[in-house]
Structure 1
Amino acid sequence: MNIAERINAYYEDMVAIRRHLHMHPELSFQETKTAQYIQQFYASLTIPFRANVGGNGVVATIQGKYPGKTVALRADFDALPIQDEKDVVYKSTVDGVMHACGHDGHTATLLTVARILHEMRDELTGTYVFIHQHAEELDPGGAKAMIEDGCLDGVDVIFGTHLSSNFEVGKVGYRPGPMMAACDSFDIIIQGHGGHGAHPDQTKDAVVIGAQLVMNLQQLVSRRISPIDSAVLSIGGFVADNASNVIADTAKLSGTIRTFTEEVRDKMTTEFYRVLDGTMATADAQYTIDFIKGYPAVVNHEAETLFIRDIAQTLDFVDEAFVMTPTMGGEDFAYYLQHVPGTFFYTGAHPGYDVPHHHPMFDIDERGMQVAAEVLLNAAIRYQQHTL
């Protein structure tokens, strides 16, 4: 059988794995049962693996018959704190937790890829490493800890994909260079001086100060960053809960900053603090801040990205390989790309109705897993003979 035929033969099993995981989701850094499920899968096939890699991570390895390069493939397996509202037989059984981003499909795909490569091992050249990563959704993420625990030791290249509800099945989105943004976040507590709503002159109104800060911060991108560059600063939360006749003593602002380059990232951080300090000084108020420098930008290596493009264009399940527009979403796959060459691409899995990722109605067309598996399998095998 060729690779497409092998994928077809295991398609129902791949769907069953995905649906099992969808019904039993676990939050970031809490994925113990999911990790055990992955371990049991490899154990049943006598594929060697390491458990508890950097936390809940699992790393399995298949050695081909002939010496060659070491190719790593990565899938994440954590879920989100969202209530599953779909009316399907595989609906999440865990209240308030669901796979709303496709990580269940990523895991089912990679397990199937490993199963097929295991069957083909006597025909294969090189070594194949399967990185099952925990905690992609929650900073500091699982990738960094897994790398520190050796998951990339000896690896020559890494490939990863994300199933996307935004693109039709059969479409593969690639992009050399910056593809996904660096993600920083902040929580600010403004300390004013509260009082009676009838006597604002005796207060330092945390709501007014917060509102002024929001407006000042919204000028950073338009007035501090070159129009040629890209950046986003969004305020996601503004809380000061008081009675109608009470002027707020404190207010909390939460938000995120997204950038594609370290230069713009550093400038946004510097200007952010300049505006924050200036606004507080003008209002004679104090603040505390928790500023979290999150995942770096996903910057794909050009040669490996074009390698994926060239492969995708030849495959049975792929209708189109297209250049993606960069997205301001974040991914800790970025850390792997800082250590070894590789690329991260998107695989279409539009479910037949328009719904974004991280939504209570999120789902995928499971045929997208076939596409992802075919690209990953061919990339892993062909890379052994490819000179970039």
Structure 2
Amino acid sequence: MKSQLMEMLQARKEEIIAIRRHLHEYPEISFKEEKTAQYILDFYKGKDVEIQSNTGNGYGIIVTIKGGKRGKNIGLRADFDALPIIEEADVPFKSKNEGVMHACGHDGHTAYLLVLADCLIQLKEHIPGTIKIIHQHAEEVPPGGAKSIVESGVLDDLDNIFGIHLLPMGEAGVVGYHAGYSFNGRAYLKLKIQGRGGHGSSPHLANDAIVAGAHFVIAAQTIISRRLSPFEIGVITIGSFDGKGTFNVIKDSVELEGDIRYMTNETKETIEKEVKRLIKGLEEQFGVTCEYTYANDYPPLYNDPGLTEKVAQYLKNANDEHIKEVKEFPAMAPSEDFAYYAEKFPSCFFYIGCTPKGVEKPYFNHHPKFDIDEEALLVAAKAVGHVVCGYYELD
């Protein structure tokens, strides 16, 4: 089956690219991917599969491929939302939806998985188990789509889930993996500090919220430098400080927003405890009152070490001309809501190099000039195909 699957994918390379280009031209942001979802549903019309649409809290689609024999059940996931970015990439299939762009490769994820799924449907009698194709909406915006799909129960019969991400950290043909904690988790902080406004000439009659806010910005960094072990990874970024006023008026209140990142659940708990303690101390020290929202968004993504090692071996043993190198990648600073699948099922999320040809310093994901080498799309399809065949021991 493996050689037949690879031949089928190779023959449909241009179709994968064409699908990616169509999706790239018509991107839709998280939770508003109505037309993209319909495009995916139309692709599966008439095929011998079970389809569940509007899964979770949006346009999620689950396609169930029942194999010819009983066995283990796996999921293959690809996300399909875009970003609110004005595209600057010089490509002939540039976004036609103003202010929206596929700047993270989700168009490519969906394109490869559609064709791979269709090939697996045609070969399903050889598969000893069930494969669920997870076309997931809203990866980019919390609470995301993955959590709601997991909570819906539609995946409860799965044993493992696999996913990939296109990353410009190597040329097409490079496949990366990382065992254990692999992507940061993240939290969101919004803090309103209420002081007492007054005249700039008489600070003793007021209570300056800007001073309290400035102290918080600096003190928050001591959580990273003095409350975390040197071997723990954490980041606190105060990205918004709304304190604009008039030069001779002491500000009555300010609002801050922050982005918090961590690589383990233990670090998450430490940072959250210390941020809340710092806010409480701010009230006491400056005589202000504080209202805040602290919301844990995506958890850290944990790749099951045993399963990840098997994936690496499947790919290293693939003997495929399109998979040129399989190597360990470092842990990633961004977050990924694939983490919700990995919390419930032993999972592996790995990486497909996509640096455009001849480019030494490629634009990374989420940049308005982000682009990929489309040769990576076939690499993605074949790499996941090899994992499926290796997992089911299909020759």
When normalised by structure 1's length, the TM-score is 0.95
SS at match of 1:166: strand
**Which residue in the other structure is 2:199 paired with?**
196
What amino acid maps onto 1:63 in structure 2? K
What is the CA-CA distance between 1:46 and the residue it aligns to? 4.2
What is the CA-CA distance between 1:146 and the residue it aligns to? 0.7
Match of 2:380 among 356, 368, 372: 372
What is the CA-CA distance between 1:40 and the residue it aligns to? 0.6
SS at match of 2:170: coil
Determine if contact 1:18/1:107 at 8 Å carries over to the other structure.
yes
Q: Distance in 2 between matches of 1:44 and 1:20?
A: 21
Determine if contact 2:213/2:254 at 8 Å carries over to the other structure.
yes
What is the CA-CA distance between 1:60 and the residue it aligns to? 0.4
**Which residue in the other structure is 2:269 paired with?**
266
> Please, which runs of 5 or more residues in structure 1 have no aligned partner?
none
Q: Distance in 2 between matches of 1:202 and 1:101?
A: 51
Match of 1:136 among 135, 139, 142: 139
What amino acid maps onto 1:321 in structure 2? V
**Which residue in the other structure is 2:389 paired with?**
381
What amino acid maps onto 2:365 in structure 1? H
What is the CA-CA distance between 1:21 and the residue it aligns to? 1.0
The farther-off stretch of 43-52 and 84-93 is: 43-52
Q: Distance in 2 between matches of 1:122 and 1:102?
A: 32
| Cα deviation 1:283-331 (Å, max 9, x = unaligned) | 1111111111111111111111011101111332222221121122111
Q: Distance in 1 between matches of 2:97 and 2:198?
A: 44
Match of 1:241 among 231, 241, 244: 244
Determine if contact 2:200/2:249 at 8 Å carries over to the other structure.
yes
| 2:357 equivalent to 1:354 | no
| 2:155 equivalent to 1:147 | no
Q: Distance in 2 between matches of 1:260 and 1:85?
A: 32
Q: Distance in 2 between matches of 1:11 and 1:201?
A: 72
Q: Distance in 1 between matches of 2:18 and 2:393?
A: 34
Question: What is the CA RMSD across the aligned residues, in angstroms?
Answer: 1.6
What is the CA-CA distance between 1:44 and the residue it aligns to? 4.4
What amino acid maps onto 1:65 in structure 2? G
Match of 2:23 among 12, 21, 24: 21
What amino acid maps onto 1:135 in structure 2? A
Q: Distance in 1 between matches of 2:79 and 2:212?
A: 41
> Please, which runs of 5 or more residues in structure 2 have no aligned partner?
none
Kindly report which structure 2 residues correspond to 1:1-388, keeping only aligned pairs within 5 A, or say none: 2-54=4-56, 55-315=58-318, 316=320, 317-351=322-356, 352=359, 353-385=361-393
Q: Distance in 2 between matches of 1:3 and 1:367?
A: 18
What amino acid maps onto 1:259 in structure 2? Y
Greater than 6 Å deviation, 4+ residue runs: none
The farther-off stretch of 291-300 and 271-280 is: 271-280
Q: Distance in 2 between matches of 1:163 and 1:95?
A: 24
SS at match of 1:165: strand
Q: Distance in 2 between matches of 1:79 and 1:378?
A: 28
Does the C-alpha gap of structure 1 residues 270 and 206 become closer, same or farther in structure 2, counting only changes over 3 Å? Answer: same
Q: Distance in 1 between matches of 2:346 and 2:260?
A: 26
What is the CA-CA distance between 1:125 and the residue it aligns to? 2.5
Determine if contact 1:72/1:128 at 8 Å carries over to the other structure.
yes
SS at match of 2:191: strand
Q: Distance in 2 between matches of 1:230 and 1:153?
A: 32
When normalised by structure 2's length, the TM-score is 0.94
Identity, % of aligned pairs?
Answer: 42
SS at match of 1:349: strand
Q: Distance in 2 between matches of 1:123 and 1:227?
A: 50
Q: Distance in 2 between matches of 1:363 and 1:187?
A: 33
SS at match of 2:333: coil
Q: How many residues matched?
A: 386
